[in-house]
Amino acid sequence: MSIISGLKAQKEQQRRAELEKALLHYEARIGGNLFGPIPKGNRREFFCLDRHTWVWHEEWNDQNGKRRTMTTRYDVRQHGILKSQGGNSYQKIKGDELRHFYQATNLYIQRIQSDYARMLQA
């Protein structure tokens, strides 16, 4: 491989990584809005990181004006869905929480697919 073709391949790889990052941020914003309006000054994201990982991230100011953040990671496994919040150990979700997670992920997929289909038609 020549230096020029190596540089072209590297540039293409970098462009692809930047595009994937932009799409992930786009999808995270869509996911964050699934649950209603986001209050001013707050940040909420919900997205599918990979085939087995979903992330819920929120940032807000508490009653004292201190900035707070919470990240919840959901790992989809063959025998259930495990949740870790704020770096704590994983716990299996069940009952209403499992049902809500299932509904949220389905709604997310529907919205993302709908948005991408609309963009492709434009």
DSSP track, 16-64: HHHHHHHHHHHHHHHHHTTTSPPPTT-EEEEEEEETTEEEEEEEEE-TT
Query: Count of CB atoms within 10 A of residue 17's CB?
Result: 10
- 113-119 mean pLDDT: 86
Give per-residue pLDDT as tens, 71-107. Answer: 999 999 999 999 999 878 999 999 999 999 999 999 9
Per residue in 5-16, pLDDT tens?
766 778 888 888
Count of residues in the chain:
122
Whole-number pLDDT of residue 15: 87
Q: What is the pLDDT of residue 13?
A: 86
pLDDT tens-digit map of 15-62: 888 989 998 899 999 999 998 899 899 999 999 999 999 999 999 999
pLDDT at 7: 66
Q: Which residue has the higher pLDDT, 7 or 120?
A: 120
